[in-house]
Amino acid sequence: MSERKIRVLVAKPGLDGHDRGAKTVATVLRDHGMEVVYTGLHQTPEMIAEAATQEDVDVVGLSILSGAHMELFPRVREELVKRGKGDVLLVGGGIIPYDDMEKLEQGGYARLFGPGTRTDDIAEYIKSEMARRFAQETA
C-alpha cells in the first residue's frame, strides 16, 4: 500500500450519548496505522462535514445507536457533497436494521457494520478500500 496514511474522522451524529464503540473503533483504526480524528458526542451533520473538510480526511465513519440513522446519515452525506467531499469513503455502524443498511449503502455509504463486527474487520475493510482508491489516484 502507499506510504500515504489514511485519515479518518469518527463522529457521533445527533443526540446519541453512547460513544464507547466509536472510541473503541477509533483506537483500533489508530493502532492499524491510520490518523484518526474523533469529534465527540452530539455532532450535527454540518459540524461533521465541516470537520471532515478542515481535517482533509479520506474516510468518515459514523456511529449511531439512537435509531435516527435514516435521517442523519443522508444529511451528513449531503453536507459532505456541498463541501466538495463527496468522494470521501463513508462507513458507519451501530444499531441499524438490515433493510436500512441496504438503503444507506445505495445512497452512498460504502459499508455499514452491525453489532458484533470485529473491529479488526472494520480496519481491514478501510485499508483495503483505501489502497484501491490510492492506486487509482496514481494510475
Q: Is residue 54, in this structure, part of any structural domain at all?
A: yes
Quickly state the pLDDT bin for 31 (edges 50, 70, 90): very high
Q: How many CB atoms lie within 10 A of CB 108?
A: 16
Question: Is residue 112's pLDDT more than 60?
Answer: yes
Tell me which residue has cell 441499524: 96
Per-residue pLDDT tens digits for 46-60: 999 999 999 999 999
Per-residue pLDDT at 4: 87
* Number of domains making up the chain: 1
Q: Is residue 58, in this structure, part of any structural domain at all?
A: yes
Helix (H) or strand (E) holding 124: helix 119-138
The sign of the dihedral angle between the CA atoms of 21, 55, 53, 135 is: negative
Q: Is residue 36, in this structure, part of any structural domain at all?
A: yes
Question: Is residue 1's pLDDT more than 70?
Answer: no
CATH code of the domain covering residue 58: 3.40.50.280
Q: How far apart are CA 139 and CA 137, in angstroms?
A: 6
- Asked whether the beta carbons of 57 and 8 are under 8 A apart, the reply is yes
- Asked whether the beta carbons of 127 and 89 are under 8 A apart, the reply is no
Tell me which residue has cell 435516527: 68
- Asked whether the beta carbons of 59 and 130 are under 8 A apart, the reply is yes
Q: Is residue 103, in this structure, part of any structural domain at all?
A: yes
- Show the domain range for 55: 7-138
Q: Is residue 2, in this structure, part of any structural domain at all?
A: no
Per-residue pLDDT at 59: 98
Question: Is residue 2's pLDDT more than 70?
Answer: no
Question: Is residue 14's pLDDT more than 50?
Answer: yes
Q: Is residue 124, in this structure, part of any structural domain at all?
A: yes
Q: Is residue 48, in this structure, part of any structural domain at all?
A: yes
- Determine the residue type at 110: A
Q: What pTM does this model have?
A: 0.95
Strand (E) positions, the chain?
A: 7-11, 35-38, 59-64, 89-94, 111-113
Q: Is residue 32, in this structure, part of any structural domain at all?
A: yes
